[in-house]
Structure formats: C-alpha cells, structure tokens
Amino acid sequence: MLKALDIRNMLIIDRLEVCFQPGLNVLTGETGAGKSILLDALGFVLGWRGRAELVRQGAEQGEVVAVFDLSAQHPVHAILADIGVPSGEELILRRINSKEGRKTAWVNDRRCSGEVLRTLSEHLVELHGQHDDRGLLNARGHRALLDEYGDHHRLLQATKVAFLACTQARSGLEKAMAEATLIREEEEFLRHALKELEGLAAIPGEEAELDTKRRMMQASERIQGDVKRAYSVLTKDGAEGQITDAVQWLNGAAEGADGRLDSALTGLSRTLTELDGAVQQIEGCLDEMAFNPSELEDTEERLFAIRGLARKHQVSPDAVPQLAQDLRIKLDRLDQSEAALTDLRAAMRVAELAYDTEAQRLTAARKTAALALDQAVMAELAPLKMDRAVFTTGVSAAATDGTQGRDVVAFEVATNPGAPSGPLAKIASGGELSRFLLALKVCLSEAEGGRTIIFDEIDRGVGGATADAVGRRLSGLAQHGQVLVVTHSPQVAALGQHHWRVEKHVVQDVTTSTVVPLDDAARIDEIARMLSGDTITDEARAAARALLPQD
C-alpha cells in the first residue's frame, strides 16, 4: 500500500506531503490544477520514463519520496534480498533530479539504479488510464494476466522445464551432428595422418633420446681415429712394451749397481701399473664408440621423421605420440557417431513429445480460462451500460515455441453485435475503453494482490447511472486493497472513502499546486462543485449529499 508521497520542487509543486489510506482514495480538482503532476511525481520515484523537465523553475533539484507498507509475504522482500537491501514492514523510495537532469535514487537509504526502481514498481503500483501502455492495453501482458486468472503456475513451470529439456536435447544433437560433419570433412586427411603417425609409432621423449644418441655417434666418428692412435702408442707395441723392456734391462743391471737403480725400478713398476689402467679405460672408450655406420644413418632417419611430422602438424616433437592418440579418438568417435546420433535423436523426440504434452495441457487450460474470463467480463459490462458489447480473449498459436508455451493471448472487443472485433485501444472510444478496462480489472483483481491500483480519469466520458456503476466497481476493488482514482465524476468521488482536492494557486506570478484533505463539509462542497460548476448552490449541496453513501 502507498502510505505517503512527499514531493519537493517538482514542476509547480513547492512542498507537498500526502498520506494515503487503505480503500478507495479519490483526487479531484479542476482541470489544470495539478492532478497529473502527482502521478508524474509518483512515476518519477518509481523509475518510470516520463517528462524530461521535472524540477521546479528556480530550484537546484527536485525530490520525491514514496513510502509503502509491505505485508510479510510481499514479493518485494525477495527482490530486496537479491540486491542486498534490508527490508521490513516499510519500504522507502527516494529519488532526486538535479536541474541539469542528473538522477539519483535510494531504496531504504541504499543507492540504486532506475532499473531497480522499475523492477520494484511492477509489484508496488499498477496504473490504468485511457492511454496507458503499461497495463491492460499492452497486449504483451495479456498472456500473463490470463495465466494469473487461471492460476496456471504449475502448468507454466512444467512447460518451462519441458522446454528447457527439449532445448538442451536439441542443442546436444546439433552439436554432435556438427562435430560429426566436421570430422567427416577431414576424414581422409585424418586417416592418412593417423596411418603415418601409427607407422612411425613414436614414444614420449624419443626425440630427445635420438638427438643425444646422434650427437654421440657424430662425436665418436670425429675422435675415434685419435683415440686408436693413442691406444697403439701406449700398448705393447708402443710405450708399454718399451717400458717393459727397460725394466728387464735394468733388472739385469741392478745387481752391479749397488741399489742405485732400485728407486728407478720402483717408479717404472708404478708407471706400468698406471699405464695399464689408462690403457683399459681407453679400450672401454673405444668399445663404447664402436658402432655400425648404418646405425647413425638409421638414427638420423627416425629423428628427422619425428621432427618432420611435428612440423607438418604444427606440434612439438614430444606431442607427436599424443597427436596420434587424439586422431585415433576422433576417428573412433566418427565410427561411433551414427549410433550416438541415433540415441540423441531418440532423446530429442522424447523431449519434444514431453514439451508437446505440457504445452497442449497449458493451451487447453488457457482456452478454458479464456471462456471463463469472457463470461465474467461480459457480466460486468451489463451494469456499465455495455450489454451489447462483446469481449473476447483470443488464444492463438505463436510463431515459435517458448518457455511459456506456444500461445498468443490478446483481449479483443466488439462494441456492437456484428461489428468486427479488435484490440481494446483501437476499437473502443474513450468512454467505452474506460468501462472495458474497469470490467476487465474487476475480473482480474482476485488473481492479483499487494499492489496499489491507480485509475487516471478512467471514468471520463461516462455519467449518471453508468458513472455510479463505475464508482461502485472501483469501491469493490478497494475493499481488499488500495485504489487511487483521479476523477472528474461526482458519482465516483462520492463513493470514495478518502477524498483530496488538488488546488492551484498563483501568488506574485508564481504558480503552485497543493493537495488538501477534505472533511465531510468540504467534501460536500467539492462534489457540489463537480455537479454545478464554480457557483455552489444549496441545490447542488443537496444533490451532493444524496450521492454520498448513507450510513
């Protein structure tokens, strides 16, 4: 419920605070007094798009504060929780507009965007008027209104789940088909490449091992001759044989040398031992360097083959074994793809059948609800002096399936028997449109709740008994909630539970607008003015009293 509206420096309003009440609240006043400005200000704080220039002339900024009472189950609590704003029994919206056009908004003292305000407004206020495109005249919302009327929540959820499952199944099939097509397009290349890779049968790390082996054999080829020559110089035909001969000669001479050769013989013996060790090491090295010349050729051929395939497929040599495995997996997937595609097609048919079943159930429920809504609206039109008009809720097939089924819903009217039907806004005149909207709103009101409903001069073009019927239906709507009505009809104003008059004053060439709550006496005078004009007579007051409900 809209509890209070505080407006400062907006258009011709200097400072205005209005405290609204539950039930039917009516605002009256002469044309141009500023009734529409109140709705502009409310729309501004709710984030609706409206007038560009709102700040009162001479002011630095304009400000609007709206206070709402919230029930414990109000859907706004969930929205506030999602955006991290604390909530309670009271919701305070505040928005400022600078004279330069900059807008700043707060929700319960937390900065927020205009988009947040608009999201909240969908659950707080509902505006209806002859030129309103946000409510019942907007055909895009008719399906949701019918679903609310028919209480189709479970059917909608089941249809949404089935549609998403169908979409997922179709997406999986399309992806698999695209992948299989792509693989088929390169199948010949893949099989040829895999044949090359498997023929090579490279193993991880093999390229590095081959490169090391190749380098070693190349080095061995260069130094092997020198090592062999050194070996021949040091063995029995060389230094070792000569030292051995020298030792034999010295041993023969040692007896006559009186020990002078002992040290030399010891050193030569030690030298022979060291030389023998060196010769053995050289022999080992020669053994290791011994290789068949064709082995180097074979090593180089395989090394270059691995590197060539790596360059061909633009991978590192170490990745060649993994590449073979990847290609094998791709081709295996292609070989298995037909069976997989068959399974995916079957799954998609099951999902489509499930969606078709749920969508048909929802369509049938909508058609049943549409007939019930048509009967209810027609019953409301008779007291509004439109018993010859025809209201129809059309349920037709949509161009595409969706999460909310495959139906298009549109409210259409024919104002006279035999006349063509069409959209509300195009077929009905101003007064007729007002009554159609009211009848429809009365029928839909039980499916809605928690919002303040505003009617902006919806009674324009009707009078007498019809205006009284309009007022009584507005009063009925307000029994379980809050309704605000901007009206020029005395019959409607008389049925209001709370009455304000919007007044315009001009002081020293400055125009301001105010809103005055009316007591019983002032209310009689205001209704009398609406009946008779500027001059209020006793007869007009008597007529006003007659319009007021009798306790």
Q: Is the pLDDT of residue 57 over 80?
A: yes
Helix, strand, or coil here: 536?
coil
Beta-sheet strand order (sheet of 390-402): 390-402, 405-414, 422-423
Is residue 12 within 8 Å of residue 511, measured between CB atoms?
yes
Claim: this prediction has a pTM higher than 0.85 = no
The set of residues, in sequence order, having a beta carbon less than 8 Å from that of 495 and lying 6+ positions away, is 24, 26, 468, 471, 472, 474, 475, 549
Q: Point out the least confidently predicted range of 162-176, 325-339, 374-388, 402-416.
A: 325-339
pLDDT > 90 in the chain, percent: 34
Q: What is the pLDDT of residue 133?
A: 47
> Which stretch of DSSP H or E encloses residue 410?
strand 405-414
Other C-beta atoms lying within 10 Å of the C-beta of residue 464: 10
Q: Is the pLDDT of residue 90 over 90?
A: yes
Kindly report, residue by residue over 343-355, the tens digit of the pLDDT.
Answer: 899 999 999 999 9
Cα separation, 172 vs 153, whole angstroms:
29
> What's the pLDDT band for 501 if we cut at 50, 70, 90?
very high
Most confident region among 94-98, 258-262, 310-314 by mean pLDDT: 94-98
Q: What is the pLDDT of residue 288?
A: 67
Sign of CA dihedral 314, 318, 324, 329: negative
DSSP string, 52-71: S--BPTT-SEEEEEEEEE--
Mark 121-145 as b/e (b = at least 16 C-beta within 10 Å). Answer: bebbbbbbbbebebbbbebebbbeb
Q: What is the pLDDT of residue 447?
A: 46
Q: What is the rounded average pLDDT for all residues in the chain?
A: 84
Q: Is the pLDDT of residue 132 over 70?
A: no
Kindly report, residue by residue over 222-265, the tens digit of the pLDDT.
Answer: 666 666 677 777 776 777 778 887 778 888 777 777 778 878 87
Kindly report, residue by residue over 40-49, the tens digit of the pLDDT.
Answer: 899 899 998 7
Q: What is the pLDDT of residue 118?
A: 92
Q: Is the pLDDT of residue 293 over 70?
A: no
Cα separation, 412 vs 390, whole angstroms:
8
> What's the pLDDT band for 383 if we cut at 50, 70, 90?
confident
